[in-house]
Structure 1
């Protein structure tokens, strides 16, 4: 169950980062709510996950999900760079997270 909490925590982190981007584009109540609810959900689920998963592993995977997920959201919805090198490095982050799961 801890791994499920960790995955959903990472997804909530992506939502929070998207909320931050929304705030930078247009300051309104909805943007702030997306950020606050995303962060609250992310940290709550991360704390649940860390009850069974080592702190270093949980944090590394959480940041990896957030980093790669936010990059993908940026590419799809905000027209950010799709350069091959960027995709390769995001894949490296993702493979490192999978590697941590495999050895944990």
Structure 2
């Protein structure tokens, strides 16, 4: 996500809870949206502690320990948008892991 993007009015996350099945996000305008954790690969295999260790950014949720971030606007767009957004994160995380392993082997 580009942090310079301004969120649409009312879409800032103010609270969230992630159980085994759903991510529930409360927005500043009072709406609560829920999406299945199965749509977000980083959350699907995470522990309860990892799923709920998130930070609220202006227009997104960030899981630092999982290396995952998702925009509220993406959650509002549904499954296909979420899968597309999270698949690019998986590729980025895999590239970072490969660079890290390569750097360690070079030492």
TM-score (norm. length: structure 1):
0.32
Considering Cα pairs closer than 8 Å and 6+ residues apart, tell me whether 1 or 2 has the greater RCO: 1
If the length of structure 2 is used for normalisation, what is the TM-score? 0.31
Structure showing the higher strand proportion among its residues: 2
| More helix as a share of residues | 1
